[in-house]
Amino acid sequence: MDHETIRKSVKARTKDIRRKTRESAATDAELITRQLDTVDLIVNGATVRQVAELFVRDMSNVTDDYHAGLALLVDKSIDRSIALREEITARQRSLVFANMPKARAGDRAAAQIVIAADGMLASIWGLRSLRIERPPRTGDPGIADAVGAYLAGLADSVTKGKT
C-alpha cells in the first residue's frame, strides 16, 4: 500500500470513531491527548483492559481511542505510523510465537492469547473482511477453532505472498 492509500483509508474509518470519542472529552485538546496517550500505552505493552481501568472507560471506547489516535499519528506523519504498525506487528507476532506451542498442547489461556494477538494483527493490517475457512473440529472445540483460524490466516498470507 502506498502512503496516500493508507491516509485515505484511515481518514475514512476514523470519522465515526472521532465522533463517538468526542462525546466523552470536555475539549478537543483533552480528546487528542487521551487518544495519543492510549496509543502510547498500548504500544508500550499495556493491555486494552489496563488502559480502560486507567482512564475509567469502557474497553470498546479505549479501542476507538486507540484507532483515532493512530489516525492522528497518520495525519501528522505517515512514516511514523508505518513504523508504529511494524512495531505493534512485531510485538503481536512474538506473543503468537510464544503461546502457539501451549495452545496446540491444549492450553485454553494460551489459545485465547493467540486469538487476541491475531485479531490485533488483522485489525492493524486491515484484514477483518477476509473469510477464514474453519477446519474440522478435533478435541476441545474452542482450541481447535482458535488454532484453525490462526493457521488458515497463515496459509492465506503465504499463498498471497507467492502470487
Confidence of residue 163 (pLDDT cuts 50, 70, 90): very low
Per-residue confidence (pLDDT) for residue 1, from 0 to 100: 55
pLDDT > 70 in the chain, percent? 66
Residue 101's pLDDT band (cuts 50, 70, 90): very high
> Which pLDDT band, with edges at 50, 70 and 90, does 149 fall under?
confident
DSSP-assigned letters across all residues of 40-80:
HHHHTT--HHHHHHHHT--HHHHHHHHHHHHHHHHHH-HHH
pLDDT of residue 9 exceeding 70, the answer is no
For residue 129, what pLDDT is reported? 60
pLDDT tens digit sequence for 110-128: 999 999 888 888 888 877 6
pTM here is 0.37
The predicted pLDDT at position 84 comes to 82
- End-to-end CA distance of the chain: give it in Å, rounded: 16
- Fill in the amino acid letter for 69: G
Q: What is the pLDDT of residues 41-57, one digit of tens each?
A: 988 888 889 999 998 88
Residue 102, number of CB atoms within 10 A of its CB: 15
